[in-house]
Amino acid sequence: MSASSTPYSGILLLNKQPGITSHDAVMNIRNIIGQKRVGHTGTLDPQAEGLLVICIGSATKIVQYLSNFDKSYEAEIYLGKSSTTFDSEGVITSDMPKAAPDFSIKEFSEMLDEFRGTFSQKVPAYSAIRVDGKHLYELARAGKEVERPERQITISELEVISYIKPRLTIRVTCSKGTYIRTLADDIGNKLECGAYLSALKRTGVNGLLLENALTIDEVEQLHKSGKLKERLLPFREMLDFSCIFVSDVFKEKVISGATLTSSDISGTDGSFSSGDRVLLKDKSGNALAIGRAEINSSEISQSTDSKIFTYSRVLN
């Protein structure tokens, strides 16, 4: 527990070092601060490093809502060899038919055009995704070949940082569920020289930056000095959905999941359609609950008997 004996509650930006799992990182934070309610919003592979967004205390209520954010990476791709795992763990020692190309950065950028935008990506054979109740990595280790599932992903930024043959370094911003390992393998297949992910660093999550993150050692030092709370971000500010403002009277009823009526609404911010995720906020802008809109924002003022809002999570 902290020096003040008050439980922590908020968002911690952690700089995970390579060699530990995301679960290990969470367990380390739990042990340091003496709290069980700690979780992360998106796994980093053990070999990867960089930004891990950690939710502590009441902030664990919004883990699922932060997991969908776009993420940014710097990735080093080794050209000229392939890997069964698409990373450095399963490198195949035999040389590929083609060597790593003598491309300029401009030529690489042009070649990467087909990997920008929205498309289907197959998950790696060595991944935790389940097929017929089994993890893919279990099936792969048993020598069983199965059809790997595909995901619709979006790569909104793909920039070449450097190329020192055979190592290509790129910057990627992508949607949830994107495998940078698969991207590396796909690039190798495109060049017909093979490739694997040799290093990966997550640099950002929806505007949250690695440069503002703490190492585990720094977290421990700040906790011992009673200054860790100053580095936690208010979790309600992480939620940037459209919102419905409610009256002061209704504000007190949110905790019990009271039904929202048009007379309880003092205004809206942003447009939304029926089925969209929205926030309930008080007049000061404090988020009270997350839920689903049952009508369009344009219909709020005309609503009488219609259901307006369905609760998903109360943020007390």
Per residue in 207-232, pLDDT (tens digit) is 999 999 999 999 999 999 999 999 99
* CA torsion angle 44 42 92 161 (round to 10): -80
Reported pTM: 0.88
How many Å separate Cα 144 from the centre of its chain? 30
Domains of the chain in sequence order:
10-68+208-236 (3.30.2350.10), 71-202 (3.30.2350.10), 239-314 (2.30.130.10)
How long, in residues, is the chain? Answer: 316
Choosing from 24, 45, 95, 132, the catalytic residue is 45
Look at residues 295, 236, 291, 300 and name the one whose alpha carbon lies nearest to residue 268: 300
Give 2's pLDDT tier (boundaries 50, 70, 90).
very low
Q: Give the pLDDT of residue 304.
A: 66
Tell me the mean pLDDT in the region 109-119. Answer: 96
Let me know if 45 is a catalytic residue: yes
| Average per-residue pLDDT for the chain | 91
Q: Which of these ranges, 31-45, 159-173, 210-224, 302-316, has the smallest mean pLDDT?
A: 302-316
